[in-house]
Every structure is written in structure tokens, then in C-alpha cells.
Chains A and B, each alone.
Chain A
Amino acid sequence: MKKNMKKLAVLALTAVMSAGLLAGCGGSGSSGSEGSGSSSGDKTAITVFNSKMEIQGQLEEMAEKYSEEKGVDVEVYYSNDTVAAHLATRYSSNEPYTLSMVDAKDVYALAEEHALDLTGEDWVSNTTQAISVNDKVYGFPVCIEARGIIYNADAIEKATGEAFDPTAIKTTEDLKALVDKMIAGGMATPVGVMKEDWSLAGHFLSEVYEQHDDPDAFIAGVKDGSIDLAKDEKFNAMMDTFDVLKENNYAKDAAISAEREVTEQKLAEGEIGLMFGGNWDWAVISAYDYTENMGMMPVPNDSSDGSNEKMVGGGSKYFFIDNSDKTTPEQQQAAKDFLNWLVNDEEGQSFLVNECALVPAYSNINLEVADPLGKSVKAYSDADKLIANYNYLPDDHYSICGASMQKYLAGDIDRAGLAAEIAKYWSTAEVGAH
């Protein structure tokens, strides 16, 4: 009897273990086939890749409703992997998404091989932000995002004791005076500086390029050495402002270990009053005990061409439709209908603006933007006061130049050293094709 029990136990164990082996296999098999873009029954099914983490919940809800109403199954996927890396795995396993939401640079990289020509679509005439490659429209802009200084007006007014007018802060001197007043009013360190490389190099440093009339020519000049970055007016104007921010950073002693969430929480709750960022930061700020009395203003700096009265921004996140034979014409049509629904249908518009709190990139959408930062961006966008994003920076720009900016932020190198490192980076880097 005892022997039998043992035998049984051994058998059971073996069974469990071999099942484990098979499970490993079965798991990968089934995950491989999910969302393969085949139509189930008579319903067309499309897959949507979302790369904007903060709207995943809204998208999933919308997909459910949309499927019921329009008879098109919409399945939404999200990955926190790098967009290009994630799509690469989907393409190499031959399972592209019908619709993919990507960054502008990815559209340039992917469009000609993988994207469907959308030139004839209705929405094209309603936006200035669509992406075209070789005169064909491939990228559908999801929203407008812009960069600037985020302010907490309540905190500023409390510290200075007077009404705050963001449009009055134009030059570095203005900013310095404001910060000094806040310090005098009892806020010892009124500024937060994000140490993330994408913020420092991808957003702040790149404003130096974008504020030039012709960023291409400027970068080419830095590249071949005909422009000395250390003596460039824009570079110095922006870095002067950066110095003011840096000097008054609440985390000045350990700027490199400041955590984004902490900085944004301090801003939301009024412990600090100013931070360089963009309207996407609302997703983080709104998680804390925030005040509605916030907004965004252009980065103040001493330039004479009016660029200190404009934010830098434009279309952000683009949808493209897969053109491979893995996506049937019905699916492509359904995807096109979906994009049109977003722009032209009242429900779609409301979804973009009210549910997702995005700033719409379409002139025919007149809904009021929900969040305060988005409101500022919409106001600047409507007034045509946006300097276009430069979308062709090489992929390693933000991490390599970001490291240089971090060194500058930590006080490890001076401005000449920073300029030298950036110039050195550009001596071998190539901007993306466009």
C-alpha cells in the first residue's frame, strides 16, 4: 500500500512537471495568436496599439462601446516598452497592429515600409500637424502637446502676495525677479528641475535648436564646426534661464536623485511654484492634491525675435494604419473609419477632449479642454504661438546629451564644457531622414 502511494506520488509529480513544460509551450503559442488581426465571424476586428499609458483605461472603455455600436471589434493593447522596440517584435513575428500609436520619429522611420497612405482622408484638411513623407500623409496626430514652464499660480501668489500674470514673465531677468520675490516671501526654493534625460535634453536642450528659424541649418552648422555653440545667442539665452532654474531647485544638493513624482507632487501642492515641463505632466500632477489654478507659459529667455512668447510643441503621438497583407482591406477601412470617428463624430471628439483630456489637433473640434495645462497649450496653439517640434533628432540624442545636461545640472561641468560635449556629440551624429 505504502509503495503504491509512493508510485502514485511520483507519477503525479511527473505529470505536473511535464504539464509545466507543455504550459510553457502552450502559453507562448496562445499569446502568439491573440489579436492576430483575423476577423471573427462576420464582424471585422481591428487591433489598436496604444503608447500613451495615461489613456489606456479610457481607450479600453471606448473600445467596448465602439464595438457594440459600430459592429467593429476593437482591441486595445499597451506596452511600456520602447515604442519602436515593441513594434519591432510585432513585425518580426508577423503580427502587426491594424492601428499603431507611435511617436513622430517612428512615423518617419516606418511609414514608407509599413504605413497606409492616408492622403485622401477627410481629416487631413482640418489639421496642420499630420505627418507626410514624400508628399503622402501617413501619420494621424492624436493630440497637441507643448513644452514650457508649468506654474502653480496659487503658490506664487501666496509667496509674492500679488496677482500673478504669466505673460509678464518674458526675460531671464523677469524670471529671476519673480523667483527672488518668492524667496523673499518665504518659499526658499521655488523651482523644481526634472533630472530625466528626456526632459533635460529631449525637451529643454532641443528648444535651443527649435528656436532657430532653421533648426536643420543650425544643427548642420554645429556639426561642421561653423557655429560655435558656446557663443550661440539662443544657447546662452536658454542656459541663462536654466541657471536660474538650477540655482533655485529644491533638490539642488542632489539634483540627480530628485524623483519626478516627488517634484510634481511638490508643484501640485504648492511647495514649489515653477517647473519646466509639458501638458503631459498633468497626468502626474492630477494624481496629487492639486489646485486648478495652474498653467503653462513659454520658457522666459533673452531673445529678441519673440520666441520667448511662444511655446514649443505640436502634434504628439501619431496613428498609422498597417499596410501589410496581414491587414485585410476591411480592417484598413475599419481603421480609417475609426480615425474619422475620432475627428468628426461628436462622441469621438468628446472622447478625445473630455475623457482623455487631450488637446485636439483638429480645427473642427471646438470642445473646451479639461485640464489647466491643456487650456494654456490650446490658447497658445489657437493664437498660432507654437514653435514646431524638431522631430528628427537621432535616437541617442536624449540619452547622450541628456548625460551632459545632467553633469551640468549636478555642477560637474561648466557651460563651456557642456557646449563642448554637445558639439562633440553632433560631430558624429546624423539627424533622421526627412
Chain B
Amino acid sequence: MNRNTMSYKVKQFIMFAGPATVLFCAVVIVPFVYGIYLTFTSWDGIAKTKPLVGLANYASAFSDGEYWRALGRTAIYSLFAVILINIVAFLLAYLVTSGVKGQNFFRAGFFIPNLIGGIVLGYVWKFVFNRAFVAVAGAFSKGTVPSPLSTPGGAMFCLILVAVWQYAGYMMLIYVAGFMSVSDALKEAAMIDGCTPAQAMWNVTIPLMRASFVQCIFLSITRCFVVYDVNLSLTNGEPYGSSVMAAMHVYKQAFTYKNYGLGQAEALILFVICAVVGITQVYIGKKGEVAA
């Protein structure tokens, strides 16, 4: 059979990737394009007519102060969360590849938080902050200690802490793969050449793991930027709207305030920001990648 004809290739594609492609189009591409169309309407989400309003929604999105404050908050949250997630994940990965006793058990243990859904996790931590923390801190300080969730700074801190707890285990797996991919021979060679273990780590292992860093940072940035579930169950935007992240604001705008078109436009702006940040980071990261 001639395997170089167009029809053969098309058939092969349909056979292997056809169903997935169809589904991907149906649940991602089509809604995305339809969503872009909705940004040009003043639809309230339920009316029969969807009046076209041109770019009015984008104008309102740019002048929606609450939205930009939510975005700014999300950027700060993401900055801290991404840095901490990756530091913690890297250290955990180092720990569980260094040959400690029971390292497979630790790997599984650190990974488990990632298997708990965001909503459940939010409620669990809410309990920890509101009850357990208050009870323990109260016992030590002999007074009532307010829950950290009751102040704007505290709520932000809690969100970041939970994000680190949730994602560090997942990122750890990627770093573990990175560590394993660096051959011992290279490290040994460096040591023979007079490197201390720290120097070998810094000059040999880390540069060779660059791909892991690029991937982890990309994943954590994109996840942090669109955080919603933990935000909803842990703080629900409180106290007084000071922990409303961008995605939650978009949801409220579209469904609670019934400005579907505006919410959709704001979601699209969030998407573009996410994409730009993510792609820039991957581009810069990939440029300096070295192959062993």
C-alpha cells in the first residue's frame, strides 16, 4: 500500500485522532468562537435576542475598576504562589530523589493533595483556618485570635498557602523526572573536576533540568491566573470583596450581574493576558535550554 498519499494520511489521522479532534472542536473551539461572538452583544444570558453592540463591552471592561483590581490581585497572588510552589516543589523533589528511606511513600504523600478537588480542599482548609487555627492559637495566647480569613491580607495569605500545598506535589513529580533525567556520570565528572555538591547542583544539574522548570512555571502560572474553585470555597471573595480573583469577577459579571457579554469580554482579556504571560515565559525559557 502506498503510505504517502494524501488519502492514506487523512484516513490515518481520522482513525487515530478523529474522535478526539471532533470532541475538542465541540467542547473547546466552537464555544470559544461563539464566546467571542457574544462579546459583541449585550446579551443578559437568558433573553431571546442578543443585540449587537460592537465594541461597547470592551470599552466597559477597560473602565471596570473592580475588574482591574481583581486582575492586579490575581497577578500578586500568582507571583507569590508561582515562586513558592516551584521552590517547595523543587526542594521536595530533591528530597525524594536523594535516597531517603521510604522515598516512594513520600512521593505519594506529597502528591495526594493534588488529587483532592479544589472545592473540597477549600472547605477543608476553611475549617483549618477558622476552627483549628483559632483554637490552637487561642490556647497558646490565652486570648481570642481572629481567623486569618477575616482580614484581607490574611485571606490572601491563606489562598497562597493553599495553592502551594495543592500544587507543590504535582510540580514535584515533574522535577523528580528532571532529576532522574540527569545522568549520574555528569555529576560524578563534575565532582572529580573539583566541584562541591552544591556547585555540581547549580552548574550541572539545574541547567540540565531547565525543561522541567519551564514546564512547571508555565503550568503554575496558567493555573494560578485562572484560579476559581479554591477561591470560591475558601474565601468566596470575602472579606468584603478583597479576595475576588479575576475568574470569580468574570463569573459574577456574567451570571450574577447578568452582563453576559461584558463578562465574556473580560474573560477573553484574561485569556489573552494568560496566553501572553505563558508564551513569553516558555519562549524565554526554551531559548536557553541546553541538551545533555
A residues with a Cβ closer than 8 A to B are 18, 21-22, 24-25, 82, 84-85, 87-88, 91-92, 109-110, 113-114, 195, 197, 253-257, 259, 394-396, 399-400, 402-404, 406-407, 410, 412
A406 to B238, CA, bound (A): 9
In the bound complex, residues from chain A placing their C-beta under 8 Å from that of B23 are: 21, 24-25
Name A256's contact: one of B46, B48, B149, B260 (CB within 8 Å).
B149
Tell whether B13 is near chain A: CB-to-CB under 8 Å: no
* New A-B pairs, 13, CB < 8 Å, besides A22-B19, A399-B252: A85-B255, A88-B45, A91-B46, A92-B46, A113-B47, A114-B46, A256-B238, A395-B258, A396-B257, A399-B256, A400-B241, A406-B238, A412-B240
With an 8 A cutoff between CB atoms, is B239 at the interface? yes
In angstroms, Cα B241 to Cα A22, docked, is 42
**Within 8 Å CB of B238, what residues of A?**
195, 197, 256, 406
Instruction: Knowing A87-B46, A254-B134, say if A82 contacts B240 (CB, 8 Å).
Output: no
Complex contact A257–B147 (CB within 8 A): yes
Which residues of B sit under 8 angstroms from A407, Cβ to Cβ? Answer: 239-240
B150 at the interface (CB under 8 A from A): yes
B12 at the interface (CB under 8 A from A): no
How far apart are B65's CB and chain A's nearest CB, in angstroms?
11
Q: Is the CB of B150 within 8 A of A257?
A: yes
Tell me which residues across on chain B come within 8 A of A22, comparing CB atoms.
19
Instruction: Return 27 A-B CB contacts under 8 Å, by A number.
Output: A21-B23, A84-B258, A85-B45, A85-B256, A87-B46, A88-B45, A92-B46, A109-B44, A113-B47, A254-B144, A254-B146, A256-B151, A256-B239, A256-B240, A257-B149, A257-B239, A259-B130, A395-B256, A395-B257, A395-B258, A396-B252, A396-B257, A400-B241, A402-B240, A403-B240, A403-B241, A407-B240
Given the complex of chains A and B, what is the CA–CA distance between A74 and B255 in angstroms?
28
Complex-state Cα separation, A254 to B148, whole angstroms:
9
The residues of A that contact B46 with a CB separation of less than 8 Å are 84, 87-88, 91-92, 109-110, 114
Contact B150 A256, beta carbon cutoff 8 Å: yes
Chain B residue numbers with a CB within 8 Å of A259 are 130
Which are the 10 A-B pairs with shortest beta-carbon distances? A254-B146, A257-B147, A403-B240, A85-B255, A403-B241, A257-B150, A406-B240, A256-B239, A256-B150, A88-B45
What are the residues of chain B within 8 A of A84 when measuring CB–CB?
Answer: 45-46, 255, 258
In chain B between 224 and 279, which residues have their CB closer than 8 angstroms to a CB of chain A?
237-241, 252, 255-258, 260
**Given the complex, which residues of B lie within 8 Å of A400, measured CB to CB?**
241
In the bound complex, CA of A84 to CA of B257 (Å): 10
Q: Which residue of B lies closest to A14 (CB)?
A: B16
Q: What's the nearest-Cβ distance from chain A to residue B111, in Å? A: 22
List residues of chain A with CB within 8 A of the CB of B239.
256-257, 406-407, 410
**A36–B34 alpha-carbon span in the complex (Å):** 24
Question: In whole angstroms, what is the CA distance A412 to B237 when docked?
Answer: 17
CA distance A110 to B47 in the complex (A): 8
B256 touches A18 (CB 8 A): no
Q: Once the chains are docked, how many angstroms separate the CA of A414 from the CA of B129?
A: 28
Q: Within the assembled complex, what's the spacing in Å between the Cα atoms of A84 and B254?
A: 11
- Contact residues in B for A195 (Cβ distance below 8 Å): 238
Q: Please measure, in the bound complex, the distance between the C-alpha atom of A143 and the C-alpha atom of B34, giving whole angstroms.
A: 40
Chain B's closest residue to A85 (CB) is B255
A82 touches B255 (CB 8 A): yes
Q: Which chain B positions have C-beta within 8 A of A396? A: 252, 256-257
Q: Is the CB of A410 within 8 A of B240?
A: yes
Residue B192 at the chain A interface, CB threshold 8 Å:
no
Contact of B10 with A by CB under 8 A: no
Question: Among the listed A21, A255, A394, which residue makes an inter-chain contact with B150, where contact means beta carbons less than 8 Å apart?
Answer: A255
Cross-chain contact B150 with A18 (CB below 8 angstroms): no
Complex contacts, B252 vs chain A, CB 8 Å: 396, 399
- Whether, in the assembled complex, B284 has its beta carbon less than 8 Å from a beta carbon of chain A, the answer is no
A36 to B241, CA, bound (A): 39
Q: Quick check: is B20 within 8 A (CB to CB) of the other chain?
A: yes
Say how far B160's CB is from chain A's closest CB, in angstroms.
17
Task: Collect the chain A residues with CB atoms within 8 Å of residue B47's CB.
Answer: 113
Q: When chains A and B are docked, how far (Å) is the Cα of A253 from the Cα of B151? A: 11
Within 8 A of A (CB), among B1-54: 19-20, 23, 44-48
A394–B259 CA distance with the chains assembled, in angstroms: 12
